[in-house]
A and B are shown apart, each in its own frame.
Chain A
Amino acid sequence: MSFQIKGIAASPGISIGRAFVLKKNAIAATGVLLRSSQEVLNDVKRFEDSVQDSVDEVEKIKSNPALKNDEVGILDTHIEFLTDPQIKSNVIDKIEKQKRNVKDAVIEVIHDAVKLFEDMDDDYMRARATDIRDVGNRILKNLSPSGQTKSQEFGLDTIIIADDISPSETIAMDMQRVIGFATSVGGKTSHTAILAKSKGIPAVVGGGGALHDIENNDVIIVDGLDGLVIINPDKDCMAGYKTKKETYDNHFKLLQSLKNVPATTADGIEIKLLANIANADEMEESLEYGAEGAGLFRTELLFMNRDSFPTEEEQFEFYKKVALKSRSKPVIVRTIDIGGDKPLPYFGLPQEENPFLGYRAIRICLDRKDIFMTQLKAILRASEYGNLKIMFPMIGNVLELRQARKILEESKNELLDDKIDFNKGIQVGITIEVPSAAITADILAREADFFSIGTNDLCQYTLAVDRGNEKIKELYDPFHPAVLRLIRHSIAQAHQHNIDVGMCGEFASDPLATLLLIGMGLNEFSMSGASIPAIKNQIITYSHEQAKEVCEKVMTMDNSKDIKEYLEELKK
């Protein structure tokens, strides 16, 4: 029978193989109480022996030289749990004072510890419950001599199906033949997920009870990209997945080969590739793709889906989390960019005829100093934990920049009065997304520490095209000579005034534009983490000299159709 189960994508990739179902014996407390002090002494001794046997077992697994560092780390943690004085005294207390037999005592103590972790408000800590359960099962197994597990023999291309796979099980497994995991329970930070990722094996976790219907040797597809487990797929499905697997594997190889390659042009000019992020998880993920920081940290996410403005404390925690994940790489925090098109239910913005030309972003902030200062103080406080920079969106004239800077100074002074630390030299930049800002880039460059060109809005404002309007979407075109001229002018003015200039709009992640932008002198590109390898691939292929020639040529062309055709031709 063919069927499909939706779970959580825990480790990317696709594997096609046969099921091996791991079953565990249920362990239940017996309720039998100890009757004599001799029995108590015996059971305490049995506990101590069993712990020693367990430690020896783990040490033995650990002695395998093929283990990776993180696996050894997990085993070391297990040894600390096994020899934990708190666990030991809890178990012995139960045996001595409550006359529990040793098995029941261990089951109860482990159960309480598991519960303690499962109730924590942190995914990582919740996942540690698996470690404790694993340690408990090992002690219990060693308490009953019959509980020996025999080593499992896997066929080629085995996909392990289980409720959950314990850390030591995964480590002791013959991984040569295991190509995928599917489990009923667990989340993105569960052990199965972490280990599958570290070994590069696709995994789907949290598939639920439906996985119990899988039998040994069923044909299984584990889709670790979309979080699907497909059981006994039909021909079409199988063919589709073979293609999907090949595409992914090739893409993955490219990613892998480029991850540690510096983004340097063929003639040695360094280009910075940064990520556009919205929270700490994306910050972390982007570093995996080789990002050298965040060129745009959108802060709106924190303001949406709630009933009131986030407090300074909540904002501080949110920004701090990102700062801590950034490993001291630069993070450009953009102050809130809300407006009539992205209304907040608790902040009554009037319906506007032209929300994109209306009361939005920095215009709201300069009007509502209270909202603005709360955010600025939170960002400043978080600047103690990483290399944060502040960016004001939608600046249209220098007076707005001056006013925003003045409010920033007031925020700093309030923190100073309260003796709260922050980075006093924090850099302050602006997005270039309103045509007036691009045209007066020479003026703004004197007072901003950096520019970030937001091509999405710059394009729609320059061309008077609403990019959400289906009927005219063809007119939305960042290769339009007008947009290119504004971009080039902004970059040139930034260089002339010795300030940094980057680009955070979608244009930065368009491989067709990369060469042209480098030719204009752009040296910071910010995009979604996943786009980085493809852009890097462009950068390392061409030289800066070639890029300049391409730019000169493009700037003489009079329409975007010719420009795009010319750039397409170059890629061939």
Chain B
Amino acid sequence: MISKNYIITAPEGIHARPATALIRLTKKFKSSVSLKKGDNLVQLNSMLNILAIGAKGGESITVIIEGEDEVDAAEAIDDFFSEVLKNL
């Protein structure tokens, strides 16, 4: 299991467009990916749940990745939060 913390740098937070991109990214991997903010933990495959968690710009979240390709998945997600998210 890999667990990483991120601070959301996009001012809008994880809104519809980044959430869509994130779901599609994680679908490429076999690992199960979940998102945690505070005490709320959701699977990173549901638009409804990701938006409902309401991660705003500047807030910190934890991504938990578990599965056979977790290392590759973690790397892709890392790239998403540090680079891709800025341009969405």
- Is there contact, CB below 8 Å, between B56 and A77? no
Knowing A85-B46, A131-B16 touch, does A324 contact B11 (C-beta < 8 A)?
Answer: yes
Stretch from B33-41, B47-55, B61-69, B73-81 contacting the other chain: B47-55
- Is there contact, CB below 8 Å, between B12 and A81? no
- Is there contact, CB below 8 Å, between B20 and A86? no
Stretch from A33-41, A120-128, A400-408 contacting the other chain: A120-128
A300-329: CB near B (< 8 Å → 1, else 0) gives 000000000000000000001100110000
- Which of chain B's residues has its CB closest to A82's CB? B47
- Is there contact, CB below 8 Å, between A80 and B58? no
Chain B proximity of A422: nearest CB distance (Å): 14
A362-398: CB near B (< 8 Å → 1, else 0) gives 0000000000000000000000010000000000000
Q: How far is the CA of A120 from the CA of B51 in the complex (A)?
A: 10
Q: Does A266 contact B (CB under 8 A)?
A: no
Which A residues from 513 to 570 make CB contacts under 8 A with B? none
Knowing A120-B54, A125-B51, A125-B54 touch, does A73 contact B20 (C-beta < 8 A)?
Answer: yes
Knowing A77-B47, A81-B48 touch, does A325 contact B16 (C-beta < 8 A)?
Answer: no
Count of B residues near A, CB < 8 Å?
22
Which A residues from 84 to 133 make CB contacts under 8 A with B? 84-87, 113, 116-117, 120, 122, 124-125, 128, 131-132
Counting chain A residues whose Cβ lies within 8 A of the other chain, the interface size class is: 20 to 34
- Is there contact, CB below 8 Å, between B48 and A87? yes
- Is there contact, CB below 8 Å, between B20 and A77? yes
Contact sample, A vs B, 25 pairs, CB 8 Å cutoff: A73-B16, A73-B17, A76-B24, A77-B19, A77-B20, A77-B47, A80-B19, A81-B47, A84-B46, A84-B47, A85-B43, A85-B45, A86-B48, A86-B49, A87-B46, A113-B48, A117-B51, A122-B56, A124-B15, A125-B15, A125-B51, A128-B16, A321-B11, A321-B57, A324-B57
Binding site for B on A (CB under 8 A): 73-74, 76-77, 80-81, 84-87, 113, 116-117, 120, 122, 124-125, 128, 131-132, 320-321, 324-325, 385
Q: Shortest 3 CB-CB distances between A and B: which pairs?
A: A324-B11, A86-B46, A80-B47
